[in-house]
Amino acid sequence: MKKLFYVVLMACLTFLPFTAASCSLAAQTHDFASLEDPPGDPVRETASDELTVLFINVGKADAALLRYDGKAYLIDTGKKASAPALFGAMNLLEVDRLDSVFLTHTDSDHLGGMNALARYFTVEKLYSSLFSLDKKKGGNKIDELAQDLQLPQLKLNAGDKVFLSEDVCFSVLGPILLNEDDDNDNSLVLKLDFFGRTLLFMGDAQFAGENALLRSGADLDADILKVGNHGNPDATGDQFAAAVSPAYAIVSTDTTEDENSANERVLAALNDANVFLTQDFAVGVMITVKKDGSVRVTAPILPRLFSTPEITGVDRDTQTVTVMNSGADMDISGFMIQSQRGSEVFMFPEGSLIKSGQTVSVSTRPGADYLWQGENEVWHEKKQDSAFLYDRFGNVLSRWD
């Protein structure tokens, strides 16, 4: 059975050194339900006694949004092209501020959305791994991102804990040592303890990273597993899968982009778990964990508009996109325009309105109704490109070639 996991976590995050004490109360004993398909469910506010984790459908990439106790956190940001899906999920859950972003490692399908994310949403701080490979010409991608975006950066080492509240925390299990061969195996491995229920986030850790964890004696047992490296066959070994023994497992992927992901061997190793693939759901699958230990899996319902504006032109010379509204007056706050070729994204600010029968223009140059900041040239003068218009939830409304 295939299913999906999508995370939103809100909490009060503090960074404290490792202590031997658990960050949660004694575990409750509850049986997990076996699910064929998670039910559709309208998005609602997170209750004070629950954690919600939404694994977002960002294609063959990773992004998990967590909410708890009035705050939100993000583990990885997807790739640059998946910004509409990421932003749409955040808008759907009414998240405009992230207490923290955890970047597990330097792969572009995990940190590619960071620049645009920081441009349109408030990010308080950035967490990354102490061990990370530099680029061939020198410099580290995550360090440079933090500097360019002027974000406080904290580097985590195995044994550290990140507290969300007195009783809820992330334990950093890995990486144990620097892997000089593959930065996937330098992925942050995070275990979240929520009142006795545990969630294990593996980033892109492969066999080398898993074996290092097994040799270290780390407590890998978890109720919910974010499968490492998109379910590719170079991760989730049989011994590791047995050590985790999850009730639920989430594979963040799109098998049309990577046919080796969600690999049959990996799915067989997780045969005793309810396995979800993010590609199978419009937004993702949300797991809600309550303080009494109960777990609920749902698939958020994606709202759709009845009347939609459309792109009526792209002027490559002036770098201007024109959007027309043939219907009633419409609030287009959070709507997005994206280039297919370069994946640059623009999001309309709060309070944006397009009146019936009128147009609005967006350009990287002064003079348009809206200035596309942070970009000099989006639309190449000669190379083929397409412009997409999305609503605030990531639905495609219009395309201009």
Query: Which two structure tokens, joined as six digits, stand for 250?
Result: 């989430």
> What whole-number distance in Å separates Cα of residue 401 and Cα of residue 397?
14
Tell me: pLDDT of 83 over 80.
yes
How would you classify the pairing of strands 122-123 and 97-98?
parallel
Q: State the average pLDDT over residues 240-268.
A: 97
What does the pLDDT read at residue 264?
97
Tokens found for residue 385: 């490109």
Q: What is the pLDDT of residue 34?
A: 39
Judged against a pLDDT cut of 80, whether residue 43 lies above it is answered with: no
Reported as a single tens digit per residue, the pLDDT across 307-334 is 789 999 999 999 999 999 999 999 999 9
Strand, helix or coil for residue 129: strand
Give the model's pLDDT for residue 40: 60
**Token digits of residue 370:** 């809206």
What pLDDT is recorded for position 21?
Answer: 39
Q: Average pLDDT, whole number, for the chain? A: 90
Return the pLDDT at 33. 40
| pTM more than 0.85 | yes
State the pLDDT at residue 266: 98
| Dist. CA 100–CA 128, nearest whole Å | 11
Residues above pLDDT 90, as percent of the chain: 83
Query: Is it the case that residue 96 has pLDDT exceeding 60?
Result: yes
* Residue 8: pLDDT over 50: no
**Contact between 27 and 293 (Cβ < 8 Å):** yes
pLDDT of amino acid 7: 31
Please report, for residues 80, 86, 89, the alpha-carbon distance to residue 94 in angstroms, rounded to integers and kept in the order given: 21, 12, 8
Integer CA distances (angstroms), 160 to 3, 8, 173, 203, 367, in order: 31, 22, 8, 17, 50
pLDDT of residue 261: 97
Residue 379 has pLDDT above 70, yes or no: yes
Does the pLDDT value for residue 163 go beyond 70?
Answer: yes
Mean pLDDT of 371-395: 94
**Structural domains of the chain, with CATH:** 14-300 (3.60.15.10), 310-400 (2.60.40.1260)
